[in-house]
Copies of this chain bind each other. A is one copy, B any other.
C-alpha cells in the first residue's frame, strides 16, 4: 500500500511513498506531453467536473488540459454564469453534478474545508484545487516534482519560503510535502504574516532575509495586495525593501520558485524573475503532467506504466 486514497484533499492524505508514486507517474506523463500527440486513452468515456468558485487561469486550464490529455470528457462549472448565482448551495450543486456519475470532481473554493465537505457528498474522487487559505495539494506536488527533477532528491535540502505564509494555502501544502520528502523548511516574512503554530509543522521561522544564503531553494509567495489594506504590513514600500527577492540575493547555486501569478516588482524584482535560477515556467509546465498523474492514480490506480503509453 503506497498511501493514495480515493480523494486528494490535503497533502496529509499522502505518505512519502504515495507522493513518490505520483511523481514517478508524472514523469511518464511529462514524456507524453513532450510528444506531438499529447494524449493517452486512460480516461476515455469518463467524466471530470471542474467546479471553480474563484477566478483562476493556470489551475483551471491545467486541470482541464490534464483531463483532456487523458481523453476524459470535461465539464467546467464556474460561479459566474451558473446557478451558483441563484444562491444554490455548494451541497446542492455537488449533488446535482454527482448525479452525472463523474469519476472526479476538482473543486476550488474560497472557503477552508470546502473540498472535504464535497468529498462527503459524492461518490466521485475529489481533488482539492485550493480551499481558502487551507491547502492546495497539487501545487505542492508540482513544486516537489520540479525540485526533484533538479536536485535528484530533496533529502536534507534547505528550502526557504518567503512572504505571506499566514494566508497561503500554497505555503501550507508545500511545508507538508517538503517535510514528507525530507527537506528542511524555513519560513520567512513579517511576524504578522507568520502563523503562530508554524514551528509545530517542523519549520524554522525567520523575521528577516538574514541567513538566506544557506538556502538551496528560495520559494517566494505571491503578496496579496489586500493584505496591505488590512494592515498586516505597514506599507508596500517597506515590504519591498525588507522582503523583495532580487537577483543580488541569489548565488549561482540557489534555485528560485514562485507559484504565480507574480506581482512584478513586489515580491520579486524583474531581474530575479528572468534569471536562469528561476524555475517558474518549469513549475507551470509540471502542472499538467502532475495533475494527469493525480487523476490517473486516483481513478485508475495500480496498473503498470506500460498501460499508459
A285 / chain B contacts, CB cutoff of 8 Å: 99-101
The 8 A CB mask of A282-296 against B (1 = contact, 0 = none) is 001101100000000
A284 / chain B contacts, CB cutoff of 8 Å: 95-96, 99-100
Contact B38 A101, beta carbon cutoff 8 Å: yes
Q: How many copies does the complex hold?
A: 3
Question: Mostly helix, strand, loop or mixed at chain A's interface?
Answer: mixed
Residues of A43-77 contacting chain B, CB below 8 A: 44-47, 49, 52, 55-58, 60-62, 64-65, 68-69, 73, 75, 77
Given contacts A64-B75, A81-B55, A288-B100, contact A92 B260 (CB under 8 A): yes
Nearest CB of chain B from residue A78's CB, rounded to whole Å: 5
Contact A86 B55, beta carbon cutoff 8 Å: yes
Q: Is A33 an interface residue (CB 8 A)?
A: yes
Bound complex: CA A122 to CA B64 (Å):
20
Q: Is A261 an interface residue (CB 8 A)?
A: yes
Bound complex: CA A75 to CA B69 (Å):
11
Bound complex: CA A78 to CA B83 (Å):
13
Bound complex: CA A58 to CA B86 (Å):
12
Contact B96 A261, beta carbon cutoff 8 Å: yes
Contact B85 A264, beta carbon cutoff 8 Å: no
Given contacts A45-B37, A45-B38, A80-B81, contact A260 B96 (CB under 8 A): yes
Contact B82 A57, beta carbon cutoff 8 Å: yes
Contact A56 B82, beta carbon cutoff 8 Å: yes
Bound complex: CA A39 to CA B99 (Å):
16
Q: Is A152 an interface residue (CB 8 A)?
A: no
Nearest CB of chain B from residue A143's CB, rounded to whole Å: 14
Pairs A–B under 8 Å by Cβ, sample size 25: A33-B101, A37-B44, A37-B46, A38-B45, A38-B47, A39-B45, A49-B61, A55-B82, A55-B85, A57-B77, A57-B82, A57-B84, A58-B83, A61-B100, A80-B80, A81-B81, A89-B261, A92-B261, A95-B281, A96-B261, A96-B284, A98-B281, A99-B285, A100-B284, A101-B285
Q: Which 4 pairs, one residue from A and one from B, show the smallest C-beta to C-beta distance?
A: A37-B45, A99-B284, A39-B45, A57-B83
